[in-house]
Amino acid sequence: MSLQMVSTVSNSALLQPGFSLLNFGGHVFFFGQKGWPKRSCPTGVFLLDIKQNELKMKPALFSKDSCYLPPLRYPALCTLRSDARSDEYQYIIHGGKTPNNDLSDKIYFMSLVSKTSKKMTFQCIEKDLCGDVPEARYGHTINVVHSRGKSMSVLFGGRSYTPLAQRTTEKWNSVVDCLPSVFLIDFEFGCCTSYILPELQDGLSFHVSIARDDTIYILGGHSLQNNTRSPNLYKLKIDLPLGSPSVTCTILPGGISVSSAIVTQISDTEFVLVGGYHSDNQKRLVCNTIVLEDSKIEIVESASPEWTPDIKHCRMWFGCDMGKGSVLLGIPGASKQLIPDANYFYILKCKGAEEDKEEELITQICSQTSSEDPGDSTPFEDSEEFCFSAEANSFDIDDADTYNEDDEEDESETGYWITCCASCNVDINTWVPFYSTELNKPAMILCSSGAGHWVHAQCMDLSETMLLRLSEANVKYFCNKHVDLHKGLQTPQKQPTLKKQPMKPLRRKKTMRLLTSMKKSFLRRLFE
């Protein structure tokens, strides 16, 4: 094994724990950036161009008939092929977290529709499901199995927010393990069926899953309920006859108690397991080789790379499989760096030196990402899921536009957890719902001063009635800081002058006669 550090060019802040890597045409693409996409790359998908130990990110394009794909962290990913040996495939993306910490229950299909020497264009389609539809979650896995000429997807594990009926003020945004149900998804008809197996007692998240033909192996994972990392090795076998599918589970010996591990494939039957955690504050620096042959699995300890002191002493790490025996690893950067949220990145090559020379480009094979964001619920958790591709084609991308993070707006100006004013007291770690319309994020309202900016309704001392009235009415709102300034700049409304209608001649004569009569009557009474 060899470990090599790579330098990033002014955009490493986008690569945070929870990202995923996709492979199309032998090139690795990054998905799941921190924050919402900006105008420089509205798709949120980037080509990872690594040359001479320098990492650059280049925006990718979506076709006009694509749906919107939000940047999802900790989703479940896998490749879907027409059959087990087909070279053409598309990616399945399910669940994950949005930049607002909302959980997604949607499922997307992403495929390559156009490739030129400079740009690659993708198509993203949202798929509707029916039946036992899996709830919104993250940190789970999805695999594709092939049996009797049929294919189905298998979804398992993950975490979700506490059900609304069970929430309390103190634990409003807390997460729980999803039920240990196994979901079979038939994408041809869009039907989902859930199975409860007696061998699967506890919910798991950030586990490893490897699919081969009609079998899925589940290794490790973290359970929030008892705060343990499962030492069990589960074998799921899916049979797809003409009638109802059959799902069986067997507990095998030789498992590893680990979470957030990463697996990369080094041959047709061999995989290498790296990274992960023994516990919340103990990284797993040991590597293992996994061999799959004749419906059997063998896990043995293998030689580990020479870890750098920075990796050994850092509190957390994260990464994803890049394919063909290579892994992209990241560790937090120094707190004194000029660029906030910047990380250090390494490429771990698990193949031998001779085999490594034959691979000119690194090809991605798996799904999922690793290492939970330290600011979200229980730290250090993530999952890895693996699918296989073979070809590694190359094309000239030197002339493609490189993404420049300096052209973007400040990420701190957007989102629900900004400091909206000097007296703002909304904190993501302590916030609880204040209005009945709030669920997992604070209510905000746009101040129309200048270019406009968002403020928290609670910080503006708005009552719920006033907030609802402002949201329904088509009026401009000004925050407490700008409302007086707005009033001072207002131009007084011009009062329309009343036009006097000329009196008609006949009416004027009658009026004069009436005044003369009243005058005579007054003088007569005065001298009497």
Would you list which residues are annotated within the binding site for Zn(2+)?
420, 424, 447, 453, 456, 459, 479, 482
Among candidates 117, 20, 113, which has minimal Cα distance to 64? Answer: 113
Among candidates 72, 74, 76, 77, which has minimal Cα distance to 98? Answer: 72
* DSSP 8-state assignment for residue 174: -
For 256, residues 6+ apart whose C-beta sits below 8 A from its C-beta are 219, 220, 231, 233, 273, 288, 299
> 106: helix, coil or strand?
coil
Query: How many Å apart are CA 141 and CA 167, to the nearest integer?
Result: 26
Give the H/E segment covering residue 251.
strand 246-252
Contact (CB, 8 A) for 307 and 287: no
CA distances from 432 to 129, 172, 465 (A): 33, 6, 19
Tokens 């724990």 belong to 17
* DSSP 8-state assignment for residue 207: -
Neighbours of 222 (CB within 10 A): 33
Query: How many Å apart are CA 218 and CA 143, to the nearest integer?
Result: 11
Query: How many Å apart are CA 417 and CA 222, to the nearest integer?
Result: 28
Give the up-direction half-sphere exposure of residue 299: CA atoms within 13 A in the CB hemisphere.
20
Which residues sit in the known binding site? 420, 424, 447, 453, 456, 459, 479, 482
Contact (CB, 8 A) for 185 and 129: yes
Among candidates 254, 267, 189, which has minimal Cα distance to 217? Answer: 254
Tokens 């309202």 belong to 445
Tokens 């007692």 belong to 201
Phi, psi (degrees; rounded to nearest 5) at 518: -70, -35
Amino acid (one-letter) located at 484:
D
Beta bridge partners of 228: 223
Amino acid (one-letter) located at 113:
V
